[in-house]
Chains A and B, each alone.
Chain A
Amino acid sequence: MSFQGKKNIPRLTSDRLIIKGGKIVNDDQSFYADIYIEDGFIKQIGENLIVPGGVKSVDAYGHIVIPGGIDVNTSLQAPHLGMNPADDFYHGTRAALAGGTTMIIDHVLPEPGSSLLAAYDQWRDIADVRSCCDYSLHMDITRWHEGLTEEVEALVKDKGVNSFLLFMAYKDKYQSSDSQIYEVFGLLRDMGAIAQVHAENGDIVEEEQKRILELGITGPEGHVLSHPEEVETEAVYRAITIAKQANCPLYITKVMSRQAADVIAKARKKGMVVFGEPIAASLAMDGSHYWSKNWAEAAAFVMSPPLSQDPSTPEYLNSLLACGDLQVTGSAHSTFSTAQKAVGKDNFTLIPEGTNGIEERMSVVWDKAVATGKMDENEFVAVTSTNAAKLFNLYPRKGRIAVGSDADLVIWNTKEARTFSAATHNLTVELNIFEGMECRGYPEVVISQGRIVLEGGQLNVTEGLGRFIPRKAFPDYVYKRIKARSRMADARGVPRGNYDGPVHDVISATKSMPSTPTTRGPPCPGKTVLAAGRNLHQSGFTLSGNQMDDHIPRRTAQRIVAPPGGRSNITSLS
């Protein structure tokens, strides 16, 4: 078992620990055994282990020991209007550890038009000195053009990034057109990476925003009014359609509504390689708070896609998570203080988006899904950790308690409950969207890289201790099926003789409707588009540059003059 990038990782820890008497819970089974940890790895699992003297013993009697959680979606550094999130890599990862999450995957958000590699380096620089737990990075593609192909390749091959996010919303800012999405999906499939999408129809959202502002609605309720559920559902549907065409694995971030979840579930039933990520907020809360008379509270809930106004949504999403229609959970943690949110006090479209959830995620899932009997402890481990590790190629280094795996463990108290509150949380923001919610299940002890970081309610984190975990391309969990389909999907033409009948003359005709997509470009934000350009193909001119039929490749070489079975009579009428 050699893990990717193992050699590059400095051995910071040399703690030795033995966890005694706990029930080890993996995604496939649970069993009683002790765990011996040395140098940040699990060295032995079993009963009556022979270990060196002077080892610190951790008592886990009566609790379960689970692989540390993996939070697949955080934005601890992505700026909005020049403001940085209130919880940065230090505060965010600290809160993550406090909640039983020992690894996060953060989103790198480059400025549209700037270099992906530069943004990646910037994120690495900050996270390496600030992060308290292991982390990895998704790359967001905020403005696609062909020139980025090389950067994407470099990120996949040299930088350990195997997931890229595209935005279907945020028109004229981050939004990609369908053609661009198709292109990127094709590239990502070739690279062996996973395509993620922020799924909302940005065109509709923008029109709705205009309309709602015109109605004089400027408060946070305008946010949810301008982002109706159907708009999320539509984009999910479209992304799935394109992914199917491109044979690219698709991962939908932030599944917030019943309908969107249904579309994913249905696509999976049809055999699509698509994954859905509900987040802490959508699994626990609904959108009724947008109508709060307290502006600050209403604004704290602003995120995209918004929380659904349908109060049955959280339970429904939990059920789908339990039955496997949705697979992983994130937090989409991106917090802004009330003063930062207040930038949009007179216009909801300016309110920075994002909610908290990094600390609460594990408890929320336990309380809503396990305590209610929707899933068992093993499924809990699957959706909070193992599935994410498999999907993003971190398994079995992360996401499993096994000899050789990283010693990222949580001793989980399944019996008692605690209450979330802004007064007690480990974040810097004034409001907690889960305020007052009582959750069963919480971490007693958290071990990150073999070191105890939470014990007896005390956090002992070390800033900058978190390592970057590179992720290799072509995760088996995802790409085995994709590869098989690529082999199957070869389209074949029909061997025919030459058509030798009369051909209508069109060259002399003036009213030409060229079928080549060259003149009026799509509203792709990257390229400059000419306003209603004159179509040169329609004039009598001959151009020496690109020609109308340039895109017809190797025409003559493909012709089969004598097809097997003899030449068919292709002009006969039946």
Chain B
Amino acid sequence: MSGIGYQGKKNIPRITSDRLLIKGGKIVNDDQSFLADIYIEDGVIKQIGENLIVPGGVKIIDAHGRMVIPGGIDVHTRFQMPDRGMTSADDFYQGTRAALAGGTTMIIDHVVPEPGSSLVAAFNQWREWADGKSCCDYSLHVDITEWHKGLQEEMEALVKDHGVNSFLIYLAYKDVFQISDAQMYEVFSVIRDLGAIAQVHAENGDIIAEEQKRILELGITGPEGHVLSRPEEVEAEAVNRAITVANQTNCPLYVTKVMSKSAADVIAQARKKGTVVYGEPISASLGTDGTHYWSKNWAKAAAFITSPPLSPDPTTPDYLNSLLACGDLQVTGSAHCTFNTAQRAVGKDDFSLIPEGTNGTEERMSLIWDKCVVTGKMDENQFVSVTSTNAAKIFNLYPRKGRIAVGSDADLVLWDPDITKIISAKSHNLAVEYNIFEGLEVRGGPLVVISQGKMVLEEGTLHVTEGSGRYVVRKPFPDNVYKRIKARSRLAELRGVPRGLYDGPVCEVTAVTPKVMTPVTSKKSSPVKLSAAQPVRNLHQSGFSLSGAQVDDNLPRRTTQRIVAPPGGRANITSLG
């Protein structure tokens, strides 16, 4: 494995120098399982095999009868996310600590810049927060909360210099984060050219805004209004739309937070048609449903508020787990973004003000084992795929992360498939009062967690170090995603039909007064620009000649494109037959 140079490896300080030997475990990768010992030094896996020759004085971990799996990658967290001056309750310390406790050794957090502010500045802010607090390795997605062409350079800088290869856009949160279809098209084109991955928060914000108004007018102000104003169809519609735009722009698409059966179906169908699209169900949607929004306990009902909401259909978790098992959905996140009850209570009289997000970073791995592996939907190798390897491949962390191999990072979990645990707010490692999985009994959990070659969980005790987490850079053009995209770009070249000049009569339009605007002269506005003021007089239709932009400016290289004598002779283009 010495030939493989990992991205940014040189930049990473070697914090650890522990030496560990894991003996007798069954190593589980996404492709196979086998029995072997693992020797770890300096945070990297140095040897795998039987009867390894290792230096003396090495700490030995007994893994007989257990599985050793690559540490989980939580592809979606929002630790320390600001919302109206509040900050989510679990910050990078609390959050990554909980992640490690659950067997997750890397997280990818979302940078949420204030609309209109600099992406790089926001990115640096998040780096600062995370570098000081994070207990495990992390990386960052950047959210595009408002689009204008000027952001293109910042995105380029983030991709080339800062190791970001994924950007999220919002189709919801009207007038806050939402962007239009035309903007989405532009962003996707930029993202494709940069070799990054387009992520989308898929909900139709226009419909939601109208529904929220309607539901509030009905006098419904409690958390049930949240789910009533965000029906499943609204999620499925936006997923469908994002896929359509991604197809047109030949951009890889990643749908965050798949919460409903209909949305998952849309993704599955698009994949069957060949679209490069990925779906991310989260702990909450895999583990619980939306019936709790009707709880008489306001605080409990509010704890489930997330967008898209949990589906009130109780068969949803089982269905999403099945799709995850069959490969229609590929990766799992937690969308961990917690607020305590006092923070939630900001929306006690208006559900649309309740800060959104649920817990799940600690529970994710166990939930999936319990719902998928114990029930026989998937095997241990698929479990590794959906909790770690697929994420590493999509986001270009592989094989540094997501695999147990010589040269890979020593992020490992000793997994006990038989351990059972009851999830409860009393015993969880979070700062919030509520756990949405309260009382759920899950089988399967981590016995030992090794992060950067150091044991951070042993015998139920956490030994984390604040700030020891490294930022992991991700290069653009991940092979897993972009091989297909590149092939399609080459195929998709469009060609016009070579024709002779049309030499027949042309109807005169300039003399006519009615002022229907032509598609080219009308202003192509995106919401950030001024959209056309009432009925605009079309100056091109007057007798005036303008010295500035002309109506046919957009016809490029017209004359050079024309083939005056096409092969096969000149076509008689005005004949009627």
Contact = CB atoms under 8 A, between A and B. Distances in A.
Interface of A: 79-83, 111-114, 170-173, 177-179, 182-183, 186, 201, 203-204, 206-210, 212-219, 221-222, 225, 228, 230-231, 233-234, 237-238, 241-242, 244-245, 291-296, 298, 337-340, 342-343, 345-347, 349-350, 422, 430-431, 491-497, 499, 501-504, 506, 508-526, 528-532, 549, 551-555, 557-558, 563, 568-574
B86 A504 contact: yes
A422 B576 contact: yes
Contacts of A528: 530-531, 533-534
Contact of A207 (B186, B572, B575): B186
B207 A503 contact: no
B381 interface: no
B491 interface: no
Given A244-B233, A532-B528, A230 B244 contact: yes
B520 A347 contact: yes
Given A493-B224, A499-B348, A511-B114, A221 B237 contact: no
Contact of B297 (A228, A349, A569): A569
Residue of A113, A554, A573 contacting most chain B CB atoms (<10 Å): A573
Given A204-B248, A531-B530, A172 B215 contact: no
Nearest to B186: A207
Residue of B146, B173, B299 contacting most chain A CB atoms (<10 Å): B299
A126 to B, nearest CB: 15
29 contacts: A81-B518, A82-B514, A82-B541, A173-B522, A179-B209, A201-B241, A203-B181, A212-B494, A213-B555, A213-B556, A216-B558, A221-B496, A295-B573, A296-B502, A338-B574, A339-B504, A342-B506, A343-B509, A346-B558, A350-B519, A491-B218, A494-B224, A499-B299, A499-B345, A515-B176, A515-B353, A529-B525, A569-B297, A570-B297
Contacts of A173: 516-517, 519, 522
A338 B234 CA distance: 44
A518 B176 CA distance: 10
B571 interface: yes
Given A531-B530, A558-B221, A216 B556 contact: yes
Contact of B222 (A212, A347, A496, A519): A496
Given A493-B219, A508-B85, 20 more contacts: A172-B532, A173-B522, A179-B210, A204-B181, A217-B495, A219-B497, A230-B248, A241-B234, A295-B573, A338-B574, A350-B518, A493-B221, A496-B296, A501-B342, A504-B343, A511-B114, A514-B176, A521-B175, A523-B182, A555-B221
B4 interface: no
Interface residues of B, number: 122
B180 interface: yes
Contact of B527 (A113, A509, A520): A520
Contact of A172 (B500, B507, B531): B531
Contacts of B225: 493
Contacts of B219: 493, 553-554, 557-558
9 nearest A-B residue pairs (beta carbon): A509-B85, A82-B512, A178-B206, A203-B181, A493-B220, A217-B496, A241-B237, A234-B244, A558-B219
Interface string B285-306: 0000000001111111100000
Contacts of A496: 222, 296-298
Nearest to B575: A294
Contact of A79 (B176, B350, B516, B554): B516
B524 interface: yes
A238 B516 contact: no
B537 to A, nearest CB: 12
B535 A293 contact: no
A204 B519 contact: no
Interface string B498-510: 1110101111010
Interface of B: 82-86, 114, 116, 146, 173-176, 180-182, 184-186, 204, 206-207, 209-211, 213, 215-222, 224-225, 228, 231, 233-234, 236-237, 240-241, 244-245, 247-248, 294-301, 340-343, 345-346, 348-350, 352-353, 425, 433-434, 438, 494-500, 502, 504-507, 509, 512-520, 522-535, 541, 552, 554-558, 560-561, 566, 571-576
B176 A245 contact: no
Contact of A346 (B209, B505, B555): B555
A147 B83 CA distance: 36
A245 B516 contact: no
Contacts of B514: 79, 82, 111
B434 to A, nearest CB: 7
A294 B572 contact: yes
Given A218-B558, A511-B85, A513-B176, A551 B517 contact: no
Contacts of B520: 347, 349-350
A230 B247 contact: yes
B506 A501 contact: no
A511 B352 contact: no
B85 A172 contact: no
A523 B556 contact: no
Contacts of B206: 177-179, 182, 522
A233 B275 CA distance: 15
A241 B205 CA distance: 13
A113 B497 contact: no
Contact of A111 (B222, B433, B535, B566): B535
B505 A203 contact: no
B492 to A, nearest CB: 11
Contacts of B116: 532
Contacts of B83: 513
Contact of A216 (B231, B532, B557, B566): B557
Nearest to A495: B296
Contacts of B566: 293
Contacts of A422: 576
B531 A523 contact: yes
A108 B161 CA distance: 56
Contacts of B236: 241
Contacts of A114: 535
A215 B492 CA distance: 12
B301 A204 contact: no
A109 to B, nearest CB: 9
A238 B204 contact: yes
A160 to B, nearest CB: 27
B183 to A, nearest CB: 8
Nearest to B523: A172
B509 A82 contact: yes
Nearest to A518: B175
B501 to A, nearest CB: 8
A225 B492 CA distance: 11
Given A81-B518, A504-B342, A238 B237 contact: yes
Contacts of A233: 244
Contact of A291 (B84, B204, B221, B497): B497
B428 to A, nearest CB: 12
Given A347-B555, A513-B83, A209 B519 contact: yes
B341 A571 contact: yes
B221 A494 contact: no
A280 B373 CA distance: 54
Nearest to B513: A82
Given A213-B554, A346-B552, A506 B228 contact: no
Residue of A222, A343, A517 contacting most chain B CB atoms (<10 Å): A517
Contacts of B245: 204
Contacts of B341: 501-502, 571
Given A178-B206, A203-B181, A221-B496, A525 B84 contact: no
Nearest to B189: A207
B507 A293 contact: no
Contacts of B524: 171-172, 206, 210
B424 to A, nearest CB: 9
Contact of B507 (A83, A216, A298, A518): A83
B502 A342 contact: yes
A415 B364 CA distance: 69
A170 B572 CA distance: 32
